[in-house]
Structure 1
Amino acid sequence: MRPPEPVQVTEAFGLGRPRGPLSPLAFGTSQTWTLDTGAGRVVVKHVPADDWRDAFARAMAFERRAFAAGLPLPRPVEPVLPGLGFAAELAGSGLIRVYEWLDGRALTADDDVAEWLGGTLARLHTIEPAHRAGPEWYHLDDEPRWRAWLDQGERLGRPWAAALHEHLPDVLAAAAWVERGFAQAGDFVLTHRDVEPWNVRMTAAGPVLLDWDGAGPDSAGLELAHAALVFAQHAGGAAAFRRTLRAYGEHGGAVPPRTPDLLVRRVAIRLGRLAGRLQMSVGEQPLGPNDRETLDRSAAERLAGLKQFVAEVRATR
């Protein structure tokens, strides 16, 4: 994928003429830039969705409903050329999205967003029910998949292969717990699925939730518990966790009971990210901005620490 030409973007999204080049903004899962145009500054985003176009289209349709419901998210710019939902397909560059620019900054430890987080999740979880749980990578209770990655890793001489061989029972036990926890949750809704501190931008009008491209079905209660915990760890501690849950209930959400499975989504995400690292390492997914040596080392460390991580999650109350 090459970056789009500025004029490709402005023509595809009806933004007048470009007033400068694309300026790199970030490169995580997706690469983003800023661009000054005749219609103002915008954020340009490449979404590498070739292998999940249908899920991406559904995510954008849900994002449209969330925006119409008044949820705090960036205003997407509609393409004027035929595309896929909010995305235009540009020659040589793939699926490209555009958002109006938001003046703001990243969250800091001084930002108290507990009430905002609880209220936002409560509103988000009322938009549309779903019939199953979670992103596809939650469904990792599949021993042949892990053994296939192990075989590939050993054949390619990847540094994490020995750790996967040693800790495969830990992986499968954690995956089985995830499957049981989600099956028992039952409160499935369409939602954002990546409510993390790095996806919130502070603006003059308040916090805004970014990056809706992975939206889809999940457990409302498990997403709430996970988000409340990670935001409390970022700022506010146990008091912030409790205030998030209280705000969720005050805005009409059903606060889940404190059960041993309440934080199982933490393990689901850890396993999903581990699986993603293995897939990138063996060539099933592009590396993107990642360095393979660093990626392989991280995968080995996560495998070695998985059993302890699961024990800590189980012990969290």
Structure 2
Amino acid sequence: MYTPAAEEIAVAFGLGEPVGELVRVRRGDADTWRLETVGGSYFVKGFVGFDRRRVAVGMGFEGRVREAGVDVPEPIAPIDPLLGWVARIGARPVRVYRWVEGVGERDVSVWLGRTMARVHQVQPVGQVGLPEWWRAAVHPAATWEGWFARAEEGGAAWAGLRADSVPHILAVTERITELCDVAPDIVTTHGDFKPHNLVMSASGPVLVDWDSVRTDSAALEAGRAAYIFGDGEAEQTNRILDAYVAAGGELGWTGPDLFLSVARHHIQVLAEQIRVSLGEATAIGWMGDRAAREAAIADLLRELPAKLEALSGLARDRLGDGVGDGSGLGFGAE
């Protein structure tokens, strides 16, 4: 993969004379570097894969969010654009932002809730029903039973956890299937509200990395993000959600399904790991070696009932035991 020189980037984006070489920040889905020039400090992103349509959608939404006053990094326009804020340098599509200097951790609960609400208000989709990517976590009972049967035949240690876990998996699957047709609040959104995509600057938090823009249920994304940033702890999670509601976000329709996106993630990760274990799919980097994968499957199966009950408990604490019209079943197995 071609790595552009500091001088090439500086010329392509009109940044002034470089005062040093590129300093690598991260290698992964994109290569990123820090560049210092006489004009300032910059964050440089070199795309590894370049889906033109996806990048265009993401940049368009990023621009609208920026106009709406959301705290995002300042993009630098190239002199000769390939697409929007992207230039081609050699064979490499590249973006540049003004560098955001991190200053340490602070409580971002109120900021996060308010920012999610703002983002969700920028581009409502105006349709009912969860987007198609939610269905990646949905597999019928016969598929799960077949996976466990094959695992047992192959002597996998985790196969014996079937009876305690499959009913809970199917309960989550049922809730996702039902909401796929009725979720009322689909919006275009950042798509990856996680701590590593938030930089605490001297002037406050900044939401970075707009490469995962997608559609989602506003309330279900808010529930998942609040759970992640709140580390599953009720008080912190509720502070984020209180700020979300105060800024105009709506949660009430979810009832006990408020944290369904967290549950969906658990069973999707589990299904991906099981398929690799059984030879149906190829392992990807975060899964580790075979021993690590087998241990991860066993741990998640063992912990799943308690994890799902904790999510249901958080929703009950947030919304009250008698919330809703009885249509939400929570995640527990009957």
Q: TM-score w.r.t. structure 1 length?
A: 0.77
Q: 5 Å matches for 1:210-249? A: 210-233=208-231, 237-249=233-245
Query: 1:97 and 1:44 mapped to 2: Cα distance?
Result: 6
Shift of 1:217: 0.8
Contact 1:90 1:96 in 2 (8 A): yes
Shift of 1:135: 7.3
Q: Which amino acid aligns with 2:138?
A: D
Specify the alignment match of 2:30 in structure 1.
30
Specify the alignment match of 1:136 in structure 2.
133
Query: 2:241 and 2:47 mapped to 1: Cα distance?
Result: 33
Contact 1:139 1:179 in 2 (8 A): no
**Would the alpha carbon gap of residues 49 and 173 (structure 1) be closer, same or farther in structure 2, given more than 3 Å must change?**
farther
Q: Give me the CA root mean square deviation.
A: 3.9
For structure 2, the residue ranges without an aligned partner over 5 or more in a row are 318-334
Specify the alignment match of 2:320 in structure 1.
none
Indicate the SS of the match to 1:15: coil
Specify the alignment match of 2:252 in structure 1.
256
Q: Which moved more, 1:201-210 or 1:1-10?
A: 1-10
Q: Which amino acid aligns with 1:267?
A: A
What per-residue deviation string (whole Å, max 9, x for no partner) do you get for residues 62-81 of structure 1?
Answer: 01110111101111122223
Q: Higher relative contact order at CA 8 Å, sep ≥6: structure 1 or structure 2? A: 1
Q: Which amino acid aligns with 1:136?
A: W
1:63 and 2:58 are equivalent in the alignment: no
Contact 1:13 1:80 in 2 (8 A): yes
**Would the alpha carbon gap of residues 96 and 306 (structure 1) be closer, same or farther in structure 2, given more than 3 Å must change?**
farther
Shift of 1:128: 0.8
Indicate the SS of the match to 2:263: helix
Q: Which amino acid aligns with 1:225?
A: G
Indicate the SS of the match to 2:229: helix
For structure 1, the residue ranges without an aligned partner over 5 or more in a row are none
Indicate the SS of the match to 1:96: strand
Q: 5 Å matches for 1:278-317? A: 287=284, 292=289, 296-297=293-294, 300=297, 301-302=299-300, 305-306=303-304, 308-316=306-314, 317=317
Shift of 1:233: 2.1
Q: Which moved more, 1:33-42 or 1:241-250?
A: 241-250
1:88 and 2:83 are equivalent in the alignment: no
Shift of 1:99: 1.1
Contact 1:41 1:101 in 2 (8 A): yes
Query: 1:160 and 1:212 mapped to 2: Cα distance?
Result: 40
Q: 5 Å matches for 1:14-29? A: 14-29=14-29
Indicate the SS of the match to 1:76: coil
Shift of 1:184: 3.2
Count of aligned pairs:
306
**Would the alpha carbon gap of residues 186 and 37 (structure 1) be closer, same or farther in structure 2, given more than 3 Å must change?**
same
Shift of 1:117: 1.5
Shift of 1:242: 2.7
Query: 1:226 and 1:302 mapped to 2: Cα distance?
Result: 18
Specify the alignment match of 1:116 in structure 2.
111
Shift of 1:303: 5.6
Contact 2:220 2:261 in 1 (8 A): yes
Contact 1:201 1:210 in 2 (8 A): yes
